[in-house]
Amino acid sequence: MSQIQKKEEILSESSSKDIPTATIVCNGPSLINVPLDWLASHATFGANRVYLMPGFQPSYYTCIDLRMLRDTEMLAEVEIYGSQSSITFVNQSLDHVWPANFVPLRCMTPYDDYGNYMDEFSLYPHKVVVEGGTVTYVQMQLAYDMGYRRLYLVGLDHTSDESAYFHPDYAEPFDPKNFSEAEYQKLTELYYRKANEIFEGQIINLTPGSQLDVFENGSDSLQWSEPR
């Protein structure tokens, strides 16, 4: 994909003990406790309505949720916010003329027409990316393809409370057609385990009190004052 930052550039820019490092910024309630200067210490991936976090602009922004992109107001917010990131990834299924730094992705849903889960972690997301029930999973595939080999996760509280976000006005259209929130959380865990299995590197969850126990827990020794 011509617009994705080359792996050689990422390798040369990394300052985290020679391991190309990025942070995936999730939108759980604990995100409000993450200092902006800590996030600025290396590359970041942000998604969906993370633009409600004052003062934060991710290196890479992602919004593939068609329910958001088909909402006129949210689409406008995505375009304004995404234009300020180095690269913004969106769902190519939406017929739309995007700004120059937007990269449309071919997205494969986490289940087929027969209700079977597609247990995949795409090593070539520029060809096809697996949604996995959560945009965080998409960002893991993108980060791996871009050359990052250590991923920190913040704001990944993984609560089944659908209203548990970092901002009181945060709300995304939720489609209960296929899953309840509890079932949705179980589905995402299946894909997180796949990521942990396939990802050749480290995925470390820095979220204090996270209900997700799939990844290495780095929250106990976390020092926000020190870039990692």
What pLDDT, on a 0 to 100 scale, did the predictor assign at position 41? 86
**Residue 114 belongs to domain spanning:** 7-217
Q: Which has the higher per-residue pLDDT, 175 or 183?
A: 183
What pLDDT, on a 0 to 100 scale, did the predictor assign at position 2? 41
What pLDDT, on a 0 to 100 scale, did the predictor assign at position 184? 76
Band of pLDDT at residue 24, cut at 50, 70 and 90 = very high
Cβ–Cβ < 8 Å for 46, 55: no
Domain count, the chain: 1
Cβ–Cβ < 8 Å for 69, 91: yes
- pLDDT tens figures, 124-150: 998 999 988 899 999 999 999 999 999
pLDDT greater than 60 at residue 227: no
Looking at the DSSP assignment, which residues form a beta bridge with residue 22?
A: 43, 151
What pLDDT, on a 0 to 100 scale, did the predictor assign at position 136? 96
Q: What is the mean pLDDT of the chain?
A: 85
Q: Which has the higher per-residue pLDDT, 33 or 161?
A: 33
Residues contacting residue 73 through CB under 8 Å, at least 6 positions apart: none
Chain CA centroid to CA 125, Å: 13
In this structure, is residue 227 part of a structural domain?
Answer: no
* Six token digits for residue 131: 């949604």
pLDDT greater than 80 at residue 4: no
DSSP 3-state of 102: strand
Q: What are phi and psi of 203, to 5 degrees?
A: -120, 115
Q: How far, CA to CA in Å, does 172 sit from each of 68, 74, 86, 133?
A: 7, 10, 24, 14
In this structure, is residue 160 part of a structural domain?
Answer: yes
Q: Which has the higher per-residue pLDDT, 103 or 173?
A: 103
- pLDDT tens figures, 84-137: 999 999 999 999 999 999 999 999 876 655 556 666 899 999 899 998 889 999
For 40-135, strand residue ranges (E) read 43-47, 60-63, 87-91, 102-105, 107-108, 129-130
What pLDDT, on a 0 to 100 scale, did the predictor assign at position 111? 63
**Report for 10-19, 89-98, 177-186: range of highest mean pLDDT:** 89-98
Classify residue 182 as exposed, middle or buried by CB count within 10 Å of its CB (0-12, 13-18, 19+): exposed
Cα–Cα distance, 134 to 9 (Å, whole number): 28
DSSP 3-state of 170: coil
Cβ–Cβ < 8 Å for 130, 110: yes
* Six token digits for residue 136: 């965080």
What pLDDT, on a 0 to 100 scale, did the predictor assign at position 186? 82
What pLDDT, on a 0 to 100 scale, did the predictor assign at position 7? 46
Q: Which has the higher per-residue pLDDT, 25 or 134?
A: 25
DSSP 3-state of 135: helix
In this structure, is residue 225 part of a structural domain?
Answer: no
Q: Which of 3-7, 33-37, 85-89, 147-151 has the lowest mean pLDDT?
A: 3-7
Q: How far, CA to CA in Å, does 171 sit from each of 37, 49, 222?
A: 26, 8, 29
In this structure, is residue 72 part of a structural domain?
Answer: yes
What pLDDT, on a 0 to 100 scale, did the predictor assign at position 8? 46
In this structure, is residue 224 part of a structural domain?
Answer: no
In this structure, is residue 123 part of a structural domain?
Answer: yes
In this structure, is residue 196 part of a structural domain?
Answer: yes
